[in-house]
Structure 1
Amino acid sequence: MEVPRSRRRIRHSPPPPPPAQGCTGGDDLISMLPDDMLLQILTRLGCARAAARTCILARRWRNLWIHLPGLIFHDVPVGKVQAALTRVARRRAGMSVSALDIRLMRSVPPEAARHDEALAKKLLCKAVRLSPEELMFVLPRSSISKPGRRVEITMPCFLHATSIELDTYFIQIQPPANQILHALERLSLSGNIVDIGACLNQCPRLHVLRVTCRGVLPVLLEESLTALEAAVALGLTVSLLRIELELYSGGHTADGAQFASLLHAAVTEDKFLALERLSLQHYRCTILDLDTMVARCPRLRVLKVNADRSAQVVTIRSTSLQELELSIDEGQCEGINIETPLLTQLKLSVDAASDINVSIWAPMVEKVSYLFSYKKLALMFGFWSLQSLRVDTVENYKYKDEGLTKEGKDACSQPPRVHVLCLQISAQDQSGPVLNFARELEKPPVSNFPILALNLNAEGHVLAAFVSRILGMHHLQTRIQRLKVVLCSWSEMSKCVKHCPCNEPKN
């Protein structure tokens, strides 16, 4: 018997729509875009090296990056940058780039760094062949390790450049020889700049200048500032002036009067309006009246300085300062007064000969390195003397018997800013000036210490009661989460002296 077929009609899926004209189902639609649109895609990668790697996508993308209007090389080895510029210059003969941004790799082995210094000079010469309108060239500090004579770089002549920025740290920068940069309007130089006056004379259209002088001898610095003073009188705008004085072999000594003479060219109505960064710590230069000096620098953001030994009160008040490193050696200092509402980083190192009044108002401070070293014996409790009090800020920490470190796979995560209080304490059998320890704990700009490290030179004395007394102080008892005790020069043979306070019944 036959089974009748179903009367239901079988429905088939509709056929796919016909492909667009000139396109099949397997085509790479992105690769079919015009070159201008593909170059816009590569430009948004923000890196010429990343753009070059798109050649693996399809044959259509090969060598497309060479035609980018601007080339950016960040943290790329100098050898690879040089090879890339050679290739671009060969394929784009006679064509310029709008911008060339080269910031060489920061961390390289010492042997590679010495090689990179020589290549850095050649790299600038390669850049000339591309005739960039805007050039940025940064050679980081960590890539300079060549001992002996300083490396010198002569700035090539970029005839079509309207903006140039060179940052070479301690490498000497020399202006191009007998070449006029007619198009240059904006110039930024950072490093050991040689004869800036000659450079300015070769840039007739220059109207905005940014200068950072690093490691320049005082005589040359004075000549540079004099040249800037003359250029400013003719209409040049110095939008940034930084002076970073460093320690030379053999050293150099200057006083406040000489320093004021060096900065004479930067003075406008008795103010250093352009000064944003001042570092004098390694220069053995001190300024007696820091408060007046800082007040004359309304744009000062970074200050690294040693206080004068003859200053009785060290005062720094600034509404612009963001980073401060202040060292105070043993001298006549009786007080420290710091008022900086925008300060985020503070490094204060003090060799205290006696009790010093400290007032620090820095409500935005985040990173702190605070060290008080007591030259004379400062008695805390009984015969226990405080040698140093230190407060440091760390991001993360781990706690182990061998110490506190900032790194490690098993690090114990804490809030972004963790403050560590470290006390160096010794037991002395001789008397000295009594120190108000509770008051010393109130001096640092931060008061929350989750970690307490005690370095004790007990000399055989009983220390349990002493440690218990410290932990019982109201400044610490509710805040300490980690405690580390290190016994220095401990010996089981050590004994208390006769009639030692340790032997008292109530101790």
Structure 2
Amino acid sequence: WSRLWTRLTGFTFRDLALHSLKSALDSLVHAPGVFLLDIHSEVPPPVPRRELLYYLQYAAGVSSLLRAAAGLSPVELRLKVSLGPLARLTPDLLLCYPPKVDLPCFHRATSIDLSGLELELDLSLLADPPASCYMFPALEVLSLSRCCVDVADLLLHCPRLRVLRATDCSLGDAIRSASLQELVLEVKTGSVDIEVPTLKQLTLSLDTRRELRLLWWRRFCGYATIPR
């Protein structure tokens, strides 16, 4: 069986603990080429009065899992985490100081979906990339849910991104892309500056206390400032 499953190109894992998932991915390190990696992890309830420590251990587990997934270089990555009782304990941490996890490179990925992580995806150690050092050179579709990320820095590494969807995320104050064609935002934000010259479809559901600035152009330039 172990020889058979390392020859497959698509893998779906459901309702497994993070450490079990990492072990499973590590066993696939010699797989010839992974197309689909679809993961749904259930996080067990925390020990009472040790929730914060449990949350930090969870963050470390997600970081290890992402590194293991990156080692397989999938074309499509879907990672969904169900925190269960832990989710009720994390909103304040998520809004203020969520634990950080490094987002590794996925050089072959054309589609990435990260859902329910309740963590900050850290790109702070990365400089503006030259063309040969993009983290996501093939990425076309990116979906994010329940996480924090400086999307302005992230988009610098996504030269082919066409679709960005974000739900209940903290994205920073700017979205700028020369390739983005579809943008779907359902977020709370203090302010947002959107500059997307190739945008074709825009869906916004924003809770903002300040103004929204939107800049677009095709044959002409358009500019709109929408007060709160």
Asked if 1 retains the 8 angstrom alpha-carbon contact of 2:182 and 2:202, the reply is: no
**1:323-373: CA deviation from partner (whole Å, max 9, x where unpaired):** xxxxxxxxxxxxxxxxxxxxxxxxxxxxxxxxxxxxxxxxxxxxxxxxxxx
Closer, same or farther: CA 79–235 of 1 in aligned 2, 3 Å: closer
Q: Secondary structure at the match of 2:160?
A: coil
Name which of 116, 122, 131 aligns with 2:73: 131
2: distance between equivalents of 1:279 and 1:103? 29
AA at the equivalent of 1:101: D
2:198 aligned residue: none
Closer, same or farther: CA 211–133 of 1 in aligned 2, 3 Å: same
1:68 aligned residue: 8
AA at the equivalent of 1:242: E
2: distance between equivalents of 1:117 and 1:126? 14
What is the deviation of 1:65? Answer: 2.5
Asked if 2 retains the 8 angstrom alpha-carbon contact of 1:169 and 1:191, the reply is: yes
Asked if 2 retains the 8 angstrom alpha-carbon contact of 1:212 and 1:244, the reply is: no
**Is residue 161 of structure 2 the alignment partner of residue 206 of structure 1?**
yes
1:182 aligned residue: 137
Name which of 12, 18, 24 aligns with 1:84: 24
AA at the equivalent of 1:123: L
AA at the equivalent of 2:71: R
For structure 2, the 5+ residue unaligned runs are 196-200, 210-228
Q: Secondary structure at the match of 2:27?
A: helix
Asked if 2 retains the 8 angstrom alpha-carbon contact of 1:153 and 1:173, the reply is: yes
Q: Which has the higher strand share?
A: 2
1:236 aligned residue: 180
**Is residue 101 of structure 2 the alignment partner of residue 161 of structure 1?**
no
Closer, same or farther: CA 193–114 of 1 in aligned 2, 3 Å: closer
For structure 1, the 5+ residue unaligned runs are 1-60, 246-258, 267-271, 286-507
1:274 aligned residue: 203
1:170 aligned residue: 118
Q: Secondary structure at the match of 2:33?
A: coil
Structure exhibiting the larger radius of gyration computed from Cα positions: 1
Percent identity at matched positions? 30
Q: Secondary structure at the match of 2:118?
A: strand
Deviates more, 1:183-192 or 1:170-179: 170-179
What is the deviation of 1:169? Answer: 4.4
2: distance between equivalents of 1:243 and 1:122? 28
1: distance between equivalents of 2:109 and 2:34? 10
2: distance between equivalents of 1:279 and 1:140? 25
AA at the equivalent of 1:115: Q
AA at the equivalent of 1:70: G
What is the deviation of 1:63? Answer: 4.2
Count residues in correspondence. Answer: 188
**Is residue 45 of structure 2 the alignment partner of residue 108 of structure 1?**
yes
**1:87-145: CA deviation from partner (whole Å, max 9, x where unpaired):** 111x43xx220011112104433466543321110110011111100111223343455
**1:254-301: CA deviation from partner (whole Å, max 9, x where unpaired):** xxxxx7xx36649xxxxx95125x568xxxx6xxxxxxxxxxxxxxxx
1: distance between equivalents of 2:27 and 2:118? 30
1:97 aligned residue: 34
Asked if 1 retains the 8 angstrom alpha-carbon contact of 2:70 and 2:106, the reply is: yes
Q: Secondary structure at the match of 2:79?
A: strand
Which structure has more RCO (C-alpha within 8 Å, separation ≥ 6)? 2
The root-mean-square deviation of aligned C-alpha atoms, in Å, is 3.2
AA at the equivalent of 1:184: L
Q: Secondary structure at the match of 1:161?
A: coil
